Structure 1
Amino acid sequence: MKPFMQQDWIVRIFGRLNEVQCNLGQEPTPPVDANVRFADVLDSMGMVELLALLAEDCGVKPEAIEQAAKRRFGTIAELAQALHAAGLAPLAPAAQQASSPQSQTVTASWLLATAVKLPEAVQPASAINEALHRPQHWLEEHAGILQRRIWKDQDPLTAAVQAGQECLKRAGLAPQEVGALLVTSEAPPLMIGLAAALHSRLELTADAVAIEIGGACTGFLSALWVAQSLLPLTRYLLLQPGPPGEAAALFGDAAAACLVGEAPTGPSAVPLRAVALGCDGSGASLLRVEHHPQRLFALHMRGMELAGRAVNAMAQAVQRLLQEYDLKVEDLAAVVSHGGNGRMPSLLARKLGLPPERVWSETETTGNLGSASLPVAWAARESRPPGPVICTAVGAGLTWGAAMLGTPH
């Protein structure tokens, strides 16, 4: 096999660039000038997709492409030169080895019910653009967010309690039957004692434990993992993701509640088959919350790198569960995706090879809801197709995870 030279890389990059542009509904850039600047033909999320494709070609992670280019993406020729100098080259086509399924156990846990409370106030993207002194359509085009929900004058604790009460009602259970309350929130309305406050307002018994779960945007999946572990000790666990309460442009507000039990109760119960979690602390610098001199805290995000890592991690988490149950991606009824922004779900769909309508997310119309994003997207689809559904998210740290709901069809 002849060496892969710099000119070969130029041809490959043009090919992948045109593929991304077609996915985004853009006119392909003619492969005539290698000095075309990426900034003139792709935005940041388009660049995330391009790097993911090039990394896939080489059998490496997107970070390897970023490191080869020293995180500077000027022209096509410059990127080709950097990749060639780093010794990177596309892998030769090879037959995929069949994965041997891991041992399975019959599920002993069920997602019994889900309830959501969204804020009444809707803030359109135009108002956010104006507040940030950005041009018209900036947030829509860059982040794929058309509007977000914000609590404004509503009490988020009251909304969370209402979601919990509605969840119990749908499952046909009384508060006294709940054995544990698991709460997760990225910007809690109470700095301490949030779980205890919700426990009191929901009128749970003193024997029902109240635990606050971390994990940022993966908090819901972490709570599911803990719930499965606790089920041998208690019959029913109430999960309360949200309310986020973030003020940054990407984030919206919501409250959700999910009930997990050891046996089906109520008309909407579905099997909770597996929860898989992962962590890579080397990505901690991609998303940080730090003290700020003028404000209490400031959010720092390396957006393009974070989005690339997030999409790759969610795709791998989905594939891990598929392999465990000897399934293919086309066997899934849908994937419920956390959306760091409104464009990430469609990027994940292309990464997995799924039609965009089979990757569910509400981020486009709610903003990034943090740990509440998965139950909100799940609850929005009351009529669901048969077959398994995988929920997946990435959170600060970086942490990631996936959960399989339903039974293979």
Structure 2
Amino acid sequence: MAGFIQTMDSLIVAAARALAAGDPLGALNRVALRDDAHALALRGIAMAQLGDLVRAKALMRLAARAFGPKEAVARARCVVAEAEIALASRDLGWPAKTLDGARATLEAHGDRVNAAHARYLEVRRLLLMGRLDDAEHKLAALDPAPFPPASRAAHELVVAGIAMRRLRAKPARAALIRAGRAARHAGIPALMAEVDSASRMLDAPAARLIAQGEERLLVLEEVEALLESKALVVDACRYVVCDAGAKVPLATRPVLFTLARTLAEAWPDDVSRETLVARAFRARAADESHRARLRVEAGRLRTALRDLADVRATKRGFVLVPHRAQEVVVLARPVEEPHATVLAFLADGESWSSSALALVLGASQRTVQRSLDALSATGKVQSSGRGRARRWMTPPMPGFATTLLLPVPLSNV
């Protein structure tokens, strides 16, 4: 959180130092009964560290109003703290311009540490939304060397997050080692726990390989190696077909992707027309109209994959024949179900609003709400609050890194 240590009374200084060391209860013991601007701000940060984000947000807004017009730096620090609370509560619609204005104020007054923290918050927001290029560009402008250990740990966590979503396991692991070193130097338990959580995600199964009738789980290094191999990969995590760097996106063409996946799962064998009709069109029996439509869709798939593979007709159906690849495989999520993409984001253990989920998934809020209602009916998610304050959550899916292969909204793949 933003720092508030200035020339002020000893209780405020002691509370601020307690917060910097990750001791919110120690901070509250010093300022819980005070309602001046600095105390309100420190109480807000303490409540955020304790997980009461609703109360924390209210306190930070009170503090920002309590600071006078001549206390621009303190007000800007409140804005940065409120932005971090918004990020923690997955309020991704929080106005980025407000945070940018606060950062500019902090930079103008020489508060480089909190200005950098504001930049990290924006990068984390972009990363969460799948805007990897923008996040990487903003991160490149920051040099963490002169910052305190906690800021260096935050920097390395962002570096690791980008690398993981770019499927670069080795740079991600190196960044997490640096983050762990900085977090231990800072001595903040919550920061060390965040690094440990990211490290466990990197070691957890990220995907499932389906090849010639057999399945096995893959960690991120294995996914990276697979995508760099000579295999033709039908990626059911991001709805693309790829071969040695060449990619054919099919996220907006679900019938073609279903056909491609069905053919890839059966490779090197062919698939009957009845099976393809059932999988692609969800028809119980294939009549002549279904067969005619299948011929059309198979032709469209052949055109889409013309640089990677051929879709050939056989006596009983169709077969996928790669041009260069030595094998054909399917890369799927560790666990698949109708609302898996929503569950993948909820599995981070944080509370999400339906509007934030719609934003990161590139879907309408109504579509996301229907998924949440279906998941709630089966007990897989739960909600708290009402109206705009309603948040959805689920315990993390044990043993699986569910979001690693969701780097961008699926509709934009």
Q: TM-score, normalised by structure 1?
A: 0.31
Instruction: Return the structure number with greater strand share.
Output: 1
Flag the structure with more relative contact order, 1 or 2, with Cα contacts below 8 A and sequence separation at least 6.
Answer: 1
